[in-house]
Structure 1
Amino acid sequence: MGDRNRLFISYSHDDTKWLQAITEQLAVLQAEGLVSLCDDSKLRVGEGWFEQLHEMMLSARLGLLLISAPFLSSEFVRRQEIPRLFDRHEEGGMKIYPLLVEPCPWENVAWLARLQLRPQDAKRRAKALSTFQGAARKQKIADVANEIAAMVKQ
């Protein structure tokens, strides 16, 4: 598979529980050879973390953004990750998948307001994962994994 289907996950460290819940489902796609997951938890000790993170972003085909207030207010995310990911997106080398994990005023963020967020309610409006409970939440996360698998297969 190589890096062709590398999936970079951008998130706030305040949202580690969401990273774990989502990577649990995405690990199935990785086991099937559909994606190669990468995020900052994969950084190696003793090497330049910034350079490693930059390389992960540059080589990714998909960028999964875990949207929350801490994510949107993170200076590092706003100044480093988002510009690099959107540069790759504009060049046509990366697809961006914004996933709303916690309610926040995302509609007021210009670069985000123009994108379709997931998950959505019955009226196709963005609805945060945290508002779903139990099996419904797990189903929404599985739906995300299935949609990512479909994107990779295109």
Structure 2
Amino acid sequence: MSEPIEVFISYSHKERRLRGILDDHLSNLKQQGIINAWYDGDIEAGAEWDAQIKTHLESAHVILLLISSSFMASKFCYEKEMLEAMRRHEAEEARVIPIILRPVDWKGAPFSKLQALPKDGKPITRWSNKDDAFLDVVQGIRRAVESLKK
């Protein structure tokens, strides 16, 4: 079995609930050893959070951007995490996957040129069945991870 793909999850803390649901839906990929998913909630007490975020962002193979108005309004999410993620994407060091959580104007954003999830960039909160939306997202992540392992 090959090493798991390191996944960094960038999100606004106002979206903790949706991030948690996504994490639950990623469980099968984690249990199969396909991915290791990391987000700032994994930072241990007493650790320097800024350094931890930077370390994990720089080592991730896949970076998930959980897009909402809160994400777009967060200076930290936008300037620190998303811009670094896009720099790594442009340098072909990581794959960046925008996941549209809520309706928001993201036209012209640096990540707008990337294929977003769920399909057609339909926000998760607009799906009548949220589990179907998260399944679509996880299947897209699985395909991206499998293509990186080839």
Relative to the length of structure 1, the TM-score reads 0.89
* Partners of 2:5 and 2:62 within 8 A in 1: yes
* Partners of 2:86 and 2:110 within 8 A in 1: no
In 2, Cα distance between the equivalents of 1:38 and 1:113? 23
Alignment of 1:25-36 (within 5 A): 25-36=25-36
Provide the residue aligned with 1:41 in structure 2. Answer: 41
Q: How far does residue 112 in structure 1 lie from its aligned partner after superposition?
A: 2.8
Count residues with an aligned counterpart: 146
SS in 1 for 2:26: helix
Provide the residue aligned with 1:132 in structure 2. Answer: 127
SS in 1 for 2:46: coil
In 1, Cα distance between the equivalents of 2:6 and 2:112? 25
| Aligned-partner residue type, residue 114 of structure 1 | K
| Aligned-partner residue type, residue 77 of structure 1 | C
In 2, Cα distance between the equivalents of 1:90 and 1:113? 13
In 1, Cα distance between the equivalents of 2:89 and 2:112? 16
Structure 1 runs of 4+ with >6 Å offset: none
Q: How far does residue 113 in structure 1 lie from its aligned partner after superposition?
A: 2.5
Q: How far does residue 45 in structure 1 lie from its aligned partner after superposition?
A: 1.0
Relative to the length of structure 2, the TM-score reads 0.91
Q: Deviations over 1:94-147 (max 9, x none)?
A: 10110110011111x431322222213xxxx421100113xx320221121122
Q: How far does residue 62 in structure 1 lie from its aligned partner after superposition?
A: 0.3
In 1, Cα distance between the equivalents of 2:52 and 2:143? 28
The root-mean-square deviation of aligned C-alpha atoms, in Å, is 1.4
SS in 1 for 2:65: strand
SS in 2 for 1:8: strand
Provide the residue aligned with 1:146 in structure 2. Answer: 139
Q: Deviations over 1:38-72 (max 9, x none)?
A: 00001111111100110010110001111000000
Identity of aligned residues (%): 27
- Which is further off, 39-48 or 111-120? 111-120
Alignment of 1:5-44 (within 5 A): 5-44=5-44
Q: How far does residue 21 in structure 1 lie from its aligned partner after superposition?
A: 0.9
SS in 2 for 1:64: strand
* Partners of 2:117 and 2:140 within 8 A in 1: no
In 1, Cα distance between the equivalents of 2:34 and 2:137? 14
